[in-house]
Amino acid sequence: MFAFFKRLFDANLGEPIVIVSGLPRSGTSMMMRMLDGGGMAIMTDQLRTADLDNPKGYYEYERVKELEKETDKSYLKEGRGKALKVISWLLKDLPDDNRYRIVFMRRDLSEVIASQNKMLKHRGEVDNSDDKMMIDAYMNHLASVRILSRKRDNFEMLEVRYDQTVADPAAAAKAVNVFLGGKLDEGKMREAVDKELYRNKKVAT
C-alpha cells in the first residue's frame, strides 16, 4: 500500500532532476561533462565560461547561486529529466516539489582546498582562511549533507570519488549510468574524463 502511494506521489513530482554536487573543485564539472557526453540533457546557461581553472567549462546555471535567497524556485522544474550542477552548500535549499537524483563528487579535502586556493588567487580574491580549519569545517559540512540526503524523501544520492573516476573512468561511468537508469552512453562518458586535468594531487607521504 505504501509503495502504491509512493509511486503516486513520485509521479506527481515528474522525472527527477539529476543534480551533480560536491564541494567546488571536487570534479563536478568533469561529471557534468561525462553526463553531457553520455547523452543527458544539461541545464546550463553557459554564462560562466571556460578559464584557466576549468579549461573545459563549468556547466553552471547562474540562477542556482541564488538558491539560499530566492523564494520562487519554480524554474527548477525545467530541470526535470536534465542534469544541473548545484554545489553541496546549496543542496539544503532545493525545494520539496521535485525529486532529485544526486551524483555527489568526493575528493581528498587537502586537494580540494589546494585547488580552491589556486582558483581564489586567479580570481584576485583575498583569502585569510586557515587550511586546517577549512578541512574540519568541510568534514562537518559533508557529514551534514549525508544526514540531509537520508532525511529528505525526495533525495537519492550516489557518492563518486574523483580520484577513482580518473583512475577508472569505465567503472565510474557504469556506476553513474546504473544509478541514473542505464540509458547513457558509457563509452562517451569515459571519453569525457581527461586525466591531464587532475592537477592538484595530494603528495603521497
Partner 1 sequence: MFGFGKNVNVKVDKDLYARVAKVADVAGYATAEEFVQHILEKEMLHFEDTKNDADIRAKLKGLGYIS
> Which one, 13 or 90, has the nearer CB to partner 1?
90
Residue number with CB closer to partner 1 (74 or 129): 129
- Cell 551534514, residue? 144
Whether the CB-CB separation of 36 and 44 falls below 8 Å is answered with no
Which residue has cell 523564494? 71
Query: Measured from the CB of residue 13, what is the shortest distance to partner 1 in angstroms?
Result: 26
Choose between 7 and 150: whose C-beta lies nearer to partner 1.
150
The number of beta carbons lying within 10 Å of the beta carbon of residue 114 is 17
Residue matched to cell numbers 582562511: 129
Which is nearest to 112 in space by CA: 94, 88, 144, 83? 88
Residues that bind partner 1 (CB under 8 A): 24-25, 48, 65-66, 68-69, 87, 89-90, 116, 119-120, 123, 125-127, 129, 133-134, 136-138, 140-141, 143-144, 147
Q: How far is the CB of 68 from partner 1 (least distance, A)?
A: 7
* Nearest distance, CB of residue 152 and partner 1, angstroms: 16
Cα–Cα nearest to 136, from 118, 161, 110: 110
Instruction: Name which of 117 and 154 has its Cβ closer to partner 1.
Output: 117
Radius of gyration of the chain (CA): 17
The distance of closest approach from Cβ of residue 90 to partner 1 in the complex, given in angstroms and rounded to an integer, is 7
